[in-house]
């Protein structure tokens, strides 16, 4: 009988008794090799890729950040290290982030930080940029010390207020005197009779 297979060049037709058999090439099925196998049936495309079936093969349309036959390869967005000033590049999905060294900031570590903004120094000390790990130096006012001038002498340590409470300050102190006392150190009793409060020749006695 005649050759009923669809394509004599691509399929081998074997004549049998009152029948025939088509030996299909890879990618085709059916009695007459009329069906193109769906190579996308098993979802070969990875990482969200879209499969497109075609004759003899399939192709994957990869999402941004991936490539390869099956979209299996994550594109290295850190290639060439876009991070400046020694920053470390961390690859992501179609993106990257820069881990900046101390003293730099910005998406590419391209902006130099000013360690004196905002001013880290206490007690209104002046901040100057300087070499070293901190990158700044505080010019501490008299009576204070420390990297950021956060330590100070306790001017109240010697209890200078005789009859009052001592309030510590920067290189100084003030006394809050108890009632009846005055002076820098609350050392002087107040003479309540000094203003002559008694009328009609009354005699004032200071207590």
The CATH number of residue 161's host domain is 2.10.25.10
CA atoms within 13 A on the CB side of 101: 9
pLDDT tens per residue across span 126-152: 999 888 777 899 999 988 889 999 988
Tell me, yes or no, whether 15 and 69 share the same domain: yes
Asked if the structure places residue 32 within a domain, the reply is yes
Asked if the structure places residue 84 within a domain, the reply is yes
Tell me, yes or no, whether 35 and 62 share the same domain: yes
Mean pLDDT of 180-207: 81
Asked if the structure places residue 95 within a domain, the reply is yes
Tell me, yes or no, whether 109 and 120 share the same domain: no
Tell me, yes or no, whether 93 and 121 share the same domain: no
Residues facing 101 on adjacent strands: none
Q: Is the pLDDT confidence value at 2 over 60?
A: no
Domain that holds residue 186: 153-193
Asked if the structure places residue 2 within a domain, the reply is no
Q: Are 140 and 146 in contact (CB under 8 A)?
A: yes
The structural domain count of the chain equals: 4
Burial of 120 (0-12, 13-18, 19+ CB in 10 A): middle
Mean pLDDT of 65-76: 93
Q: Considering only residues 109 and 202, tell me which one the structure prediction assigns the higher pLDDT.
A: 109
Q: And the tokens for 23?
A: 């030996």
pLDDT of residue 183: 93
Asked if the structure places residue 139 within a domain, the reply is yes
Please give the mean pLDDT across all residues of the chain: 85
CA-based nearest residue to 87, from 73, 106, 66, 72: 106
The model's pTM: 0.44
Tell me, yes or no, whether 135 and 186 share the same domain: no
Asked if the structure places residue 202 within a domain, the reply is no
Tell me, yes or no, whether 14 and 56 share the same domain: yes
């Amino acid at each position: 009988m005649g050759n009923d297979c669809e394509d004599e060049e691509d399929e081998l037709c074997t004549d049998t008794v009152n029948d025939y058999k088509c030996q299909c090439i890879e990618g085709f099925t059916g009695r007459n090799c009329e069906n193109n196998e769906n190579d996308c049936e098993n979802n070969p495309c990875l990482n969200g890729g879209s499969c497109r079936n075609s004759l003899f093969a399939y192709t994957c349309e990869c999402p941004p950040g991936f490539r390869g036959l099956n979209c299996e390869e994550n594109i290295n967005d850190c290639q060439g290290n876009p991070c400046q000033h020694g920053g470390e590049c961390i690859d992501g999905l179609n993106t990257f982030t820069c881990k900046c060294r101390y003293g730099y900031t910005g998406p590419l570590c391209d902006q130099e930080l000013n360690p004196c903004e905002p001013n880290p120094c206490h007690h209104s000390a002046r901040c100057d940029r300087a070499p070293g790990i901190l990158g700044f130096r505080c010019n501490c006012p008299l009576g204070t010390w420390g990297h950021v001038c956060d330590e100070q002498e306790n001017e109240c340590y010697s209890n200078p207020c005789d009859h009052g409470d001592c309030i510590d300050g920067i290189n100084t102190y003030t006394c809050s005197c108890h009632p009846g006392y005055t002076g820098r150190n609350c050392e002087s009793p107040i003479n309540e009779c000094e203003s002559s409060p008694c009328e009609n020749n009354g005699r004032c006695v200071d207590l």
